[in-house]
Structure 1
């Protein structure tokens, strides 16, 4: 009898909480802005709240991908696959990415080079404002399309190999950080 009473009270409190859930009723761009203050891990946890939050958490406009150095080739391919899949999803849904941080630390960068060649030219389409790249052991030139991204406000490049370019159109750029750069 006591368990039934507790279950009824719990169900009633859940119903009351759902009825008072005004956060979910906010426009999606405001919810995305709120999620930007959380880490990616915390934002992904919001996917468990409800069906609507599953979509909101998975379309958070601040993307962070980090791979630490280890000796397994599979991990690099997996990170590249995840980044490809997520960016393709954003592209298919015509969603903006406000901030993209990619940190790769490994010796075999062939999959990463392919990733950069595919997605760097898409920076204007994503309307990326902040781009942070840290690619250790990089021996390939960064695609020159990065210097044509008019939407970039902040560009942080660490361990990225740069080659001379003919044209630079970083009209919105307010901050440029170059760390341990390699000039070709």
Structure 2
């Protein structure tokens, strides 16, 4: 049985491919070969979809944002969570602030369960002059 190999591709092509994947999958793809290793961390797109245990998801987002802290801009920040508890609001406001500080262009936030986020969300959005696309969905 022949094994498939990933052809050597220019970094710009790899970046382009990884930008279309949720961050979790982009990280997995980055482990396929040495050329792809770590490239996910320089993407201007962060796409988080809560699939696992809530606490693990919160920690995963925190770790990813820590790694992206050195970058100055984001093209897209997508955060789809099941819910945002009262305890999670601090984290959510921190994540939103992270995106706004990096002059995010596309912001897509939604929760499966109705969640009231209140004044923190509104004040952050009022200061976000870079946003060209905003989706606040269920």
- Deviations, residues 65-108 of structure 1 (Å, cap 9, x unaligned): 2226xxxxx922221111111112101x22533211111223x6
Matches of 2:71 and 2:132, distance apart in 1? 20
- Higher Cα Rg, which structure: 1
Q: Which has the higher contact order (CA 8 A, sep 6+)?
A: 2
1:57 to 40, 44, 48: 40
Structure 1 vs Structure 2 CA RMSD = 2.9
What count of residue pairs does the alignment treat as equivalent? 132
Task: Provide the residue aligned with 2:137 in structure 1.
Answer: 158
TM-score, normalised to structure 2's length? 0.74
Structure 1: give runs of 5+ residues left out of the alignment.
1-9, 69-73, 160-184
Equivalent residue runs for 1:1-80 within 5 Å: 21=8, 23-24=9-10, 26=11, 31-40=14-23, 42-67=25-50, 75-80=53-58
Instruction: Judging by fraction of residues, say which structure has more helix.
Output: 1
Cα 1:52–1:126, aligned 2, differ >3 Å: closer, same or farther? farther
